[in-house]
Structures are given as C-alpha cells and as structure tokens.
Amino acid sequence: MLKLTATSKVGAMCLLLLLALWQTGSLLAQNLKKQFPKSFTVTVSNPLGQQREEAMVYMAEEEIRKQAPAFNPQAFVVLDGRNEIASQYNLHDPQHRGIVLVLGQLAPKASRTLTVRYNEKGTAPRAYNKRTQAELSRKVGGAFQNRKYIGGTFENVDSLRVPDEHTDHSYFIRYEGPGWESDKVGYRFYLDWRNGTDVFGKKTKDMVLQQVGQDGFDSYHEEQPWGMDVLKVGKALGVGTLAMFHGGQANRVAETDSMISVIRENGDMFSAIQTTYYGWKVAGMTMDVQSLLSIHAGSRLTHHQVRVTGATPQNLSTGLNKDKKATLHTSPGTDKAWGYMASYGKQSLNGDGDNLGIAVLFRPRDLLEFTEDSNSHVVMLKPADNQVEYYFLAAWELEPDGIKTEEQFMQYLQKTAQELAQPVLVRFGKLQ
C-alpha cells in the first residue's frame, strides 16, 4: 500500500487546488463567452526598454466602430487571457470617447493581446473597484447674503454654472471647486476668480473626496485620517494652473463673464472634468477657454487639454509655486522625453513640512521659455491651432508606498517623461 509523506500530501493538495482554480477559470471564461458572444482582439505594446506600471490603454470609439460596427458599450468585458480586466466606456469625455483600462504592469518591449467580448444587445454592467473619482458639490436650501451662502446642505451635481454672487470663501461649493482623484492623489481647483489648482495628499488608496469638507468647510487644511491639503497656492500657480504670461507675471483665468463646469466622467478607471470660461479678459484680449482635466487609475498625472477661441494668444502658460524650501529642476525635453519643470523639498503644509514633489510636463516643441514672477516658476507654452496640452502631478511622502527622497522623485519624473514621449501602442485585431 502506497503511503504519502507530509511533503507529498502538501504537493497533492496544491495540485488539486490548481486544478480547481483552472476549472473555475474555465467555467468563468465559458460563461463570459456565452454572455458576450462577439469579440475582437487588441494588441498592446510597450515601445520602451523599461517596465511600465499602471499603463493606461485607450481604445478610441471610432477605431472600435471600424472594427466592430455593432459594438455595444453597455455590454462588454475585456479579457487578458482568461482574466477579466477592469475597464470602462467613456461616453461623455470629448477627447477620450471609447474604452479605457489600466494594465498593472507592461514589461520592456513587450506586447499583450487583449480580447474585447461584447453582446450586441442589452446591458450588462460590471462591478469593479473604484480607483478614480470626480465630483462637484454645491449647497442647496439656503441663500446668498452679501456674497456668502447662508444655510443649506451640500449636494453633488453633474454640472454647475457659477452664480454671479459666488466668489472666494462664499461657502457655496464644497472645498471651493471641483475635485478629482486617483488611488494615488487628489486635486481641486478654485471655481472662482482665483482658478488655482491645489493638491490633496492621500494616506489611503481609497476614494476620499466625498468626505472632504463635510466636517467643517476648510477642515482639510489639518491632517485627517485620509490625508490633507498639502500645497499653499495663494497668488501662485499651485501646480499646473492655467495662465497667460503678460506684463512680467502669470495671469490666471481671473476676469471672466461666466464659468460652467461639468463632470464628464466619474468612472472606476478614469475621471474627467470640463470647464468652460466665457469671456476671459487678459492682455487686452477676450477669449473663451475650454479646459479638460482627466486622471486615470494608478497614476499621479492629471492631463490638461486646453482650447481657446475668439483670440490668438502668443502663449498659454502654467507652472509651480515658489518655495524656498524646495529645489527647482527644469528640462526642455528631447525627442525621447517630454520637458518638465519640477520642485522637491519640505514644501508640504503639514506642520514643519513633509517632502512634496510637484511638476508639470510638456512637449518639447511647445516650450517657449522658462521664466518666473514674484510668486511662481513659470513655463511659457506656444499654442498650436489655439490648443495646448500638458500634464501635472504631485507626490507626497506620506502616500502609501510614497516617494520619500529627491532622488526617487527625479527618477520617477524622468521615467514619466520618457513614457509620455513613447506612449503605449494599440493595434486592433480581427473581429470574431
């Protein structure tokens, strides 16, 4: 009679477990094939000779329709082999309509073939972990008195035309403007004459914006269990604030006729906010500005896409706060890396200051010059067809697995600059 040793018993149990998992995976794959009978493939490639982390993959709606005219965005899944990948379909973002997903890792010079399965009819919502968020919360049930909103309670809305009575510290908009976040970091901008961008440092990967400012209008200025406001904006550009450099200073979008802000996407993997500024008066010009801010899961980067109409500005600028406790770094970029302006040091608002890195990144061809004013380090960019785009980011050392040294921050920044210059490639396969 054959006797099993302890080691062989463990091995047998492991084998049985693997077989059970394989069978479960096979059953799930069969069920998905029945539920989503149509499919096409997409090959995702990393052109870089370095590993990418949390790489966003975007499949444009027009390309999907070319491949699968009957594709149904209300009933689909994306598979990596037998494993379902969290994804979403953007229906409202004007620049990113289509499927968005994030690959946790993509090896150097590697390619992965993904399968998109769909059902031509019906709806089949999927439940994934929420890793991004965008929100805009204003008060209802009260009234403005002398430009202060008295009474009422906060309510989230999908869009808001800013009331003429609203100004800074009106207590009308929770944390004073729209907010957006990933599982890495959060941001907000002031939806008033200041229009500056601020940073919420996070000590958790969970979504937190829904609780910010609920326990006191500006309680986020003190450290909370979720994190805190870590950047002093004041009259400066904060991080990535849109401006025009004129008369020796960076002029934020201050004087306008009206402003409308809209939550375009609030998804598990990708979120976006679009704001239109009508009648921005600056440097003797009047123009309308459309701003689109977006963020994806696993990333600190905010993508800012700007378009102006009604005038032809010679520059659209952005930049960073000046802080004596932080070291400034600049690069004009190369054909293999985007340019950047960055600062790192104990510039956090938390007590004596935690280490905080902030940066803006831009295409080298768009750079006019690096300059400054009394409050900000400035990057002047040249609009092409009245459009400009750039990225900005913040990295607080108290994040989970946060960047804790200047050396680590610069390594991260330079890797990010290379990834922006050589994005993930997406090639569609055949319909099945």
pLDDT digits (tens, 9 = 90+) for 8-51: 565 656 566 655 444 444 556 678 999 999 999 999 999 999 99
The half-sphere exposure of 374 on its side-chain side, counting CA atoms within 13 A, is 3
Type of residue numbered 378: V
Distance between CA atoms of 297 and 310, rounded to whole angstroms? 35
pLDDT at 431 over 70: no
- pLDDT of 178 strictly over 80: yes
Burial category of 151 from C-beta neighbours within 10 Å (exposed 0-12, middle 13-18, buried 19 and up)? exposed
Mean pLDDT of the chain: 93
Count CA atoms within 13 Å of residue 273 on its CB side: 24
Q: What is the pLDDT of residues 53-101, one digit of tens each?
A: 999 999 999 999 999 999 999 999 999 999 999 999 999 999 999 999 9
What order of strands is seen across the sheet that includes strand 425-431?
Answer: 83-85, 76-80, 111-118, 38-45, 425-431
* pLDDT above 90: residue 193: yes
Question: Given this model, what pLDDT does residue 21 score?
Answer: 46
pLDDT band at 103 (very low <50, low <70, confident <90, very high): very high
pLDDT band at 222 (very low <50, low <70, confident <90, very high): confident
The mean pLDDT value for 110-124 works out to 97
Burial class (CB in 10 A: 0-12, 13-18, 19+), 125: exposed
User: Rounded distance, CA 252 to CA 188, Å?
Assistant: 15
CA geometry: angle 389, 392, 393, nearest 5 deg: 160
Number of C-beta neighbours around residue 368 at 10 A: 15
What percent of the chain lies above the pLDDT cut of 90?
89
% of the chain exceeding 70 in pLDDT: 92
CA distances, 322 to each of 3, 222, 376 (Å): 74, 22, 5
pLDDT of 11: 62
Least confident of 132-136, 217-221, 242-246, 307-311: 217-221
Report the range out of 211-220, 267-276, 421-430 with the highest average pLDDT: 267-276
- The pLDDT of 335-364, averaged and rounded, is 95
Give the pLDDT confidence score for residue 172 in this predicted structure.
96
CATH of domain 35-121+423-432: 2.60.40
pLDDT given for residue 214 in this prediction? 87
CATH number of this structure's domain 179-401, picked from the four choices 3.40.50, 2.130.10, 2.70.98, 3.30.1890: 2.70.98
Helix, strand, coil share of the chain (percent; to 5): 15, 45, 40
Domain layout of the chain by residue ranges: 35-121+423-432, 179-401
